[in-house]
Structure 1
Amino acid sequence: MKHPVDVHVGKRIRHRRWMVGMTQQQLAEKVGIKFQQIQKYETGMNRVSASRLWDISEALEVPVAFFFDGVEVDTPEVVENGASVPADILADKEALELVRSYYSIPANQRRRLFELARVLSDVA
Protein backbone atom coordinates (compact mmCIF):
# COMPACT_ATOMS: atom_id res chain seq x y z
CA MET A 1 0.00 0.00 0.00
CA LYS A 2 1.27 3.47 -0.92
CA HIS A 3 2.02 5.83 1.93
CA PRO A 4 0.41 9.28 1.42
CA VAL A 5 3.73 11.06 2.05
CA ASP A 6 5.47 8.96 -0.62
CA VAL A 7 2.68 9.83 -3.07
CA HIS A 8 2.97 13.52 -2.18
CA VAL A 9 6.76 13.56 -2.59
CA GLY A 10 6.40 11.75 -5.92
CA LYS A 11 3.89 14.32 -7.16
CA ARG A 12 6.20 17.14 -6.16
CA ILE A 13 9.08 15.49 -8.04
CA ARG A 14 6.91 15.12 -11.14
CA HIS A 15 5.62 18.69 -10.98
CA ARG A 16 9.04 20.24 -10.49
CA ARG A 17 10.50 18.10 -13.27
CA TRP A 18 7.68 19.17 -15.54
CA MET A 19 8.06 22.85 -14.58
CA VAL A 20 11.72 22.89 -15.55
CA GLY A 21 10.95 21.04 -18.78
CA MET A 22 12.91 17.91 -17.93
CA THR A 23 11.98 14.39 -19.04
CA GLN A 24 12.08 11.38 -16.74
CA GLN A 25 15.03 10.13 -18.76
CA GLN A 26 16.96 13.38 -18.29
CA LEU A 27 16.32 13.41 -14.55
CA ALA A 28 17.29 9.76 -14.27
CA GLU A 29 20.58 10.43 -16.08
CA LYS A 30 21.40 13.36 -13.78
CA VAL A 31 20.69 11.21 -10.71
CA GLY A 32 22.37 8.09 -12.09
CA ILE A 33 19.40 5.71 -12.19
CA LYS A 34 16.99 4.25 -14.76
CA PHE A 35 13.98 6.31 -15.84
CA GLN A 36 11.68 3.49 -14.66
CA GLN A 37 12.80 4.23 -11.11
CA ILE A 38 11.79 7.88 -11.57
CA GLN A 39 8.38 6.64 -12.73
CA LYS A 40 8.03 4.57 -9.56
CA TYR A 41 9.04 7.51 -7.37
CA GLU A 42 6.59 9.83 -9.10
CA THR A 43 3.67 7.46 -8.57
CA GLY A 44 4.62 6.73 -4.97
CA MET A 45 5.11 3.04 -5.72
CA ASN A 46 8.69 3.24 -4.45
CA ARG A 47 9.82 5.30 -1.49
CA VAL A 48 12.63 7.78 -2.19
CA SER A 49 15.59 7.39 0.16
CA ALA A 50 17.04 10.47 1.83
CA SER A 51 20.24 10.39 -0.23
CA ARG A 52 18.31 9.89 -3.49
CA LEU A 53 15.95 12.73 -2.61
CA TRP A 54 19.02 14.89 -2.02
CA ASP A 55 20.33 14.00 -5.50
CA ILE A 56 16.93 14.72 -7.06
CA SER A 57 16.70 18.07 -5.28
CA GLU A 58 20.09 19.07 -6.66
CA ALA A 59 19.16 17.93 -10.19
CA LEU A 60 15.89 19.89 -10.02
CA GLU A 61 17.54 22.85 -8.26
CA VAL A 62 15.21 23.03 -5.25
CA PRO A 63 15.78 22.45 -1.53
CA VAL A 64 14.78 19.03 -0.17
CA ALA A 65 12.02 20.72 1.84
CA PHE A 66 10.29 21.61 -1.45
CA PHE A 67 9.12 18.00 -1.79
CA PHE A 68 7.32 18.16 1.56
CA ASP A 69 5.57 21.50 1.07
CA GLY A 70 1.84 21.10 1.58
CA VAL A 71 2.07 17.55 2.87
CA GLU A 72 -0.18 18.35 5.84
CA VAL A 73 -2.96 19.79 3.68
CA ASP A 74 -6.03 17.55 3.88
CA THR A 75 -8.62 19.84 2.31
CA PRO A 76 -9.54 19.16 -1.33
CA GLU A 77 -10.02 22.83 -2.17
CA VAL A 78 -9.72 26.33 -0.80
CA VAL A 79 -12.27 29.10 -1.35
CA GLU A 80 -10.53 32.30 -2.37
CA ASN A 81 -12.45 35.43 -3.39
CA GLY A 82 -15.56 33.30 -3.85
CA ALA A 83 -13.85 30.89 -6.26
CA SER A 84 -12.92 27.29 -5.52
CA VAL A 85 -9.23 26.66 -6.04
CA PRO A 86 -7.72 23.15 -5.69
CA ALA A 87 -5.61 22.93 -2.54
CA ASP A 88 -2.93 21.20 -4.61
CA ILE A 89 -2.87 23.52 -7.61
CA LEU A 90 0.25 21.69 -8.81
CA ALA A 91 -1.89 18.62 -9.45
CA ASP A 92 -3.63 20.45 -12.30
CA LYS A 93 -1.59 20.03 -15.48
CA GLU A 94 -3.39 22.91 -17.16
CA ALA A 95 -2.47 25.24 -14.28
CA LEU A 96 1.16 24.17 -14.52
CA GLU A 97 1.20 24.76 -18.25
CA LEU A 98 -0.34 28.19 -17.71
CA VAL A 99 2.35 29.10 -15.17
CA ARG A 100 5.13 27.94 -17.48
CA SER A 101 3.68 29.93 -20.37
CA TYR A 102 3.20 32.98 -18.14
CA TYR A 103 6.86 33.03 -17.12
CA SER A 104 8.00 32.69 -20.72
CA ILE A 105 6.38 36.08 -21.51
CA PRO A 106 8.68 39.14 -21.26
CA ALA A 107 8.41 40.84 -17.84
CA ASN A 108 6.71 44.06 -19.00
CA GLN A 109 4.06 42.18 -20.99
CA ARG A 110 3.67 39.66 -18.16
CA ARG A 111 2.84 42.45 -15.72
CA ARG A 112 0.17 43.83 -18.08
CA LEU A 113 -1.31 40.35 -18.50
CA PHE A 114 -1.36 39.95 -14.71
CA GLU A 115 -3.23 43.24 -14.31
CA LEU A 116 -5.73 42.20 -17.01
CA ALA A 117 -6.34 38.87 -15.24
CA ARG A 118 -6.82 40.68 -11.93
CA VAL A 119 -9.40 43.03 -13.47
CA LEU A 120 -11.24 40.17 -15.16
CA SER A 121 -11.36 38.12 -11.96
CA ASP A 122 -12.77 41.11 -10.04
CA VAL A 123 -15.56 41.43 -12.60
CA ALA A 124 -16.49 37.75 -12.50
Structure 2
Amino acid sequence: MVALKGSRSPKDREFDDAVGARIRHYRLGSGLSQSVVAQAAGITFQQLQKYESGDNRVAASRLAAIAASLGVPVSRLLGEGEDPPMIREAFAADELQLLSNYRRAAVNGKRALRMLAATLAEMPATD
Protein backbone atom coordinates (compact mmCIF):
# COMPACT_ATOMS: atom_id res chain seq x y z
CA MET A 1 0.00 0.00 0.00
CA VAL A 2 1.29 3.47 -0.90
CA ALA A 3 1.14 6.11 1.82
CA LEU A 4 -0.67 9.32 0.96
CA LYS A 5 1.47 12.41 0.61
CA GLY A 6 1.81 14.02 4.01
CA SER A 7 0.86 10.89 5.93
CA ARG A 8 3.39 9.13 8.11
CA SER A 9 3.67 5.50 9.00
CA PRO A 10 3.58 4.56 12.69
CA LYS A 11 7.31 3.85 12.49
CA ASP A 12 7.98 7.31 11.00
CA ARG A 13 5.80 8.88 13.68
CA GLU A 14 7.71 7.03 16.41
CA PHE A 15 11.02 8.29 14.98
CA ASP A 16 9.73 11.88 14.74
CA ASP A 17 8.46 11.68 18.33
CA ALA A 18 11.88 10.47 19.50
CA VAL A 19 13.71 13.27 17.66
CA GLY A 20 11.33 15.80 19.21
CA ALA A 21 11.85 14.33 22.67
CA ARG A 22 15.61 14.59 22.25
CA ILE A 23 15.33 18.24 21.16
CA ARG A 24 13.22 18.98 24.24
CA HIS A 25 15.58 17.04 26.52
CA TYR A 26 18.67 18.93 25.37
CA ARG A 27 16.82 22.26 25.38
CA LEU A 28 15.63 21.80 28.95
CA GLY A 29 19.02 20.45 30.01
CA SER A 30 20.58 23.63 28.67
CA GLY A 31 18.07 25.77 30.54
CA LEU A 32 16.89 27.38 27.31
CA SER A 33 13.37 28.46 26.47
CA GLN A 34 11.63 27.46 23.27
CA SER A 35 11.73 31.10 22.19
CA VAL A 36 15.51 31.34 22.57
CA VAL A 37 16.22 28.10 20.70
CA ALA A 38 13.68 28.92 18.00
CA GLN A 39 15.13 32.37 17.43
CA ALA A 40 18.66 30.96 17.20
CA ALA A 41 17.44 28.34 14.71
CA GLY A 42 15.51 30.85 12.62
CA ILE A 43 12.03 29.46 13.32
CA THR A 44 9.06 30.41 15.48
CA PHE A 45 8.64 28.98 18.96
CA GLN A 46 5.34 27.48 17.76
CA GLN A 47 7.23 25.53 15.09
CA LEU A 48 9.71 24.32 17.70
CA GLN A 49 6.77 23.15 19.82
CA LYS A 50 5.51 21.12 16.86
CA TYR A 51 8.95 19.59 16.36
CA GLU A 52 9.26 18.73 20.07
CA SER A 53 5.83 17.11 20.13
CA GLY A 54 6.50 15.16 16.94
CA ASP A 55 3.56 16.84 15.19
CA ASN A 56 5.85 18.13 12.42
CA ARG A 57 8.88 16.50 10.85
CA VAL A 58 12.15 18.39 11.12
CA ALA A 59 14.00 19.08 7.86
CA ALA A 60 17.71 18.27 7.97
CA SER A 61 18.68 21.94 7.60
CA ARG A 62 16.43 22.91 10.51
CA LEU A 63 17.70 20.03 12.62
CA ALA A 64 21.26 21.25 12.04
CA ALA A 65 20.29 24.77 13.14
CA ILE A 66 18.51 23.45 16.24
CA ALA A 67 21.46 21.22 17.13
CA ALA A 68 23.84 24.18 16.78
CA SER A 69 21.65 26.33 19.02
CA LEU A 70 21.70 23.55 21.64
CA GLY A 71 25.42 22.92 21.30
CA VAL A 72 25.00 19.25 20.42
CA PRO A 73 25.85 17.31 17.26
CA VAL A 74 22.96 16.50 14.92
CA SER A 75 23.72 12.82 15.47
CA ARG A 76 22.59 13.18 19.12
CA LEU A 77 19.21 14.48 18.04
CA LEU A 78 18.90 11.62 15.55
CA GLY A 79 19.52 9.07 18.29
CA GLU A 80 23.01 7.97 17.34
CA GLY A 81 24.86 6.99 20.44
CA GLU A 82 22.95 6.45 23.62
CA ASP A 83 19.66 8.19 24.33
CA PRO A 84 19.57 10.33 27.44
CA PRO A 85 18.13 8.37 30.39
CA MET A 86 15.11 10.67 30.50
CA ILE A 87 13.99 9.54 27.05
CA ARG A 88 14.92 5.89 27.46
CA GLU A 89 13.40 5.41 30.90
CA ALA A 90 10.74 8.07 31.26
CA PHE A 91 7.93 6.07 29.70
CA ALA A 92 6.94 2.43 29.74
CA ALA A 93 5.99 0.88 26.40
CA ASP A 94 2.27 1.03 27.21
CA GLU A 95 2.57 4.74 28.09
CA LEU A 96 4.29 5.45 24.77
CA GLN A 97 1.54 3.54 22.95
CA LEU A 98 -1.11 5.59 24.75
CA LEU A 99 0.65 8.81 23.80
CA SER A 100 0.98 7.67 20.19
CA ASN A 101 -2.73 6.83 20.03
CA TYR A 102 -3.64 10.18 21.58
CA ARG A 103 -1.59 12.08 19.02
CA ARG A 104 -3.34 10.30 16.15
CA ALA A 105 -6.82 10.99 17.53
CA ALA A 106 -9.06 13.72 16.17
CA VAL A 107 -9.74 16.78 18.35
CA ASN A 108 -13.00 15.37 19.79
CA GLY A 109 -11.27 12.04 20.44
CA LYS A 110 -8.47 13.79 22.31
CA ARG A 111 -11.02 15.63 24.44
CA ALA A 112 -12.78 12.35 25.26
CA LEU A 113 -9.47 10.67 26.14
CA ARG A 114 -8.52 13.52 28.49
CA MET A 115 -11.89 13.31 30.23
CA LEU A 116 -11.59 9.53 30.54
CA ALA A 117 -8.05 9.81 31.92
CA ALA A 118 -9.16 12.40 34.49
CA THR A 119 -12.03 10.15 35.59
CA LEU A 120 -9.80 7.08 35.83
CA ALA A 121 -7.19 8.99 37.82
CA GLU A 122 -9.81 9.80 40.47
CA MET A 123 -10.83 6.16 40.94
CA PRO A 124 -9.49 4.45 44.07
CA ALA A 125 -6.70 1.95 43.54
CA THR A 126 -7.74 -1.71 43.71
CA ASP A 127 -4.27 -3.27 43.72
Structure 1 residue 68: Cα displacement: 2.2
1:88 is matched with which residue? 88
3, 20, 24: which one aligns with 1:14 = 24
Structure 2 length-normalised TM = 0.55
1:44 is matched with which residue? 54
Structure 1 length-normalised TM = 0.57
Alignment identity in percent? 43
Unpaired stretches in structure 2, ≥5 consecutive residues: 1-7, 92-127
RMSD of Structure 2 on Structure 1 (CA): 2.7
Aligned letter for 1:23? S
Aligned letter for 2:44? K
Unpaired stretches in structure 1, ≥5 consecutive residues: 74-84, 93-124
**CA distance change for structure 1 residues 87 and 32 in 2, over 3 Å: closer, same or farther?**
closer
1:67 is matched with which residue? 77
- How many residue pairs align between the two structures? 80
**CA distance change for structure 1 residues 87 and 28 in 2, over 3 Å: closer, same or farther?**
closer
Distance in 2 of aligned mates of 1:87 and 1:36? 22
Structure 1 residue 33: Cα displacement: 1.1
Bigger strand fraction: 1
